[in-house]
Amino acid sequence: MTTTTGKVYLVGAGPGDPELITVKGLRVLRSADVVVYDRLAPAALLDEAPAAAERVDVGKLPQRHRLSQDGINILLVERALAGQTVVRLKGGDPLVFGRGGEEALACFAAGVPFEIVPGVSSAVAVPAYAGIPVTQRNVARSFIVFTGHEDPDSDENAVDYAALAQVDTLVALMGAYHLPKITEKLIAAGKAPTTPAACIEWGTTAHQRVVTATLATIAQAAAEADFKPPSITVIGEVVALRDAGMRWFD
């Protein structure tokens, strides 16, 4: 029986294109005994793990999880305590709405060595693949990333829409379901209804789709195109640069 404690690597797999994983992330993945992954980790990367490595799908579909976050934390700790090298493969960056911080703290509490391997965040990479920079000289000097997963009408929602309305570029992650409410809140907070906006579905992958409109109409445009998660919404004057010459991936 193995008594030496293993290690947990919290690895950002990038936004969808498997080639966007970092060199270090790929090296760690190729050394794994166990790969714990969810739906946003590119499937092609699973083939990079050793053939003998165990692959554990923990799901993480919107509104439906195969395994709770507490269950994932326990799984990571138990496998590491059994002496295994555990790779937690997460879409994007593990610390950008990826709950990687919770997993790191669970490892620390259990005395399990861990390492965080940052990944290319979908917050900037997906807009880039759509031909939209999040900043641009003389156009946008600031950008902010916020979660669209929470109901904007919830009493527990901590998003400050008045503050968001003052930022040049807004990037909403996981906001497909609540997009109508998000846009209403931003307009009510003072963001111009005519502000350019884009929704990007399955960004950086062969299934990428993009729809552009204004802040006032983007929710309707995304609904008419039947956009589903994972999708990202970008709001700001930078969106106009897509059709001004930066559209490349399409």
What pLDDT shows up at residue 3? 57
pLDDT tens, position by position, 214-250: 999 999 999 999 999 999 999 999 999 999 999 999 8
Band of the pLDDT at 61, cuts 50, 70, 90?
low
Task: For residues 145-160, give the mean pLDDT.
Answer: 82
Neighbours of 224 (CB within 10 A): 11
Report if pTM > 0.85: yes
Structure tokens at 191: 């963001």
Query: For residue range 124-145, what is the model confidence (pLDDT) as tens digits?
Result: 999 999 999 999 999 999 999 9
pLDDT of residue 56: 96
Look-up of token digits 């931003």: 186
Tell whether the model's pLDDT for residue 185 goes beyond 60.
yes
Residue range 70-99: mean pLDDT, rounded: 97
On whether the CB atoms of residues 237 and 168 are closer than 8 A, the answer is yes
Quick check: 65 pLDDT over 70? no
Provide the CATH topology of domain 122-244: 3.30.950
Q: What are the φ/ψ torsions at residue 140 (nearest 5 degrees)?
A: -145, 120
In this prediction, residue 180 has a pLDDT band, given cuts at 50, 70 and 90, of very high
Q: Which pLDDT score, from 0 to 100, does residue 73 have?
A: 97
Phi, psi (deg, nearest 5) at residue 43: -60, -35
Note the pLDDT of residue 1. 44
Query: What are the residue boundaries of the structural domains of the chain, listed by start?
Result: 7-117, 122-244
From the candidates 17, 90, 174, 185, give the one annotated as an active-site residue.
Answer: 174
E strand residue ranges, the chain: 7-12, 34-37, 54-57, 85-90, 114-117, 143-147, 169-173, 196-201, 209-214, 231-235
Please pick, among 17, 33, 38, 93, the residue that the annotation labels catalytic: 38
Query: What are the tokens at 65?
Result: 């999880």
Give 184's contacts (C-beta < 8 A, 6+ positions apart): 152
Q: How many CA atoms lie within 13 A of 115 on its CB side?
A: 11
Task: Note if 174 is an active site residue.
Answer: yes
Q: Which of 7, 17, 33, 60 is catalytic?
A: 60
**What is the per-residue pLDDT for 157?**
64
**Residue-wise pLDDT tens digits, 163-173:** 999 999 999 99
Percent of the chain with pLDDT over 70: 95
Asked whether residue 64 carries a pLDDT value surpassing 90, the answer given is no
- What does CATH list as the number for 7-117? 3.40.1010.10
Query: For the chain, what is the radius of gyration of the CA atoms?
Result: 19
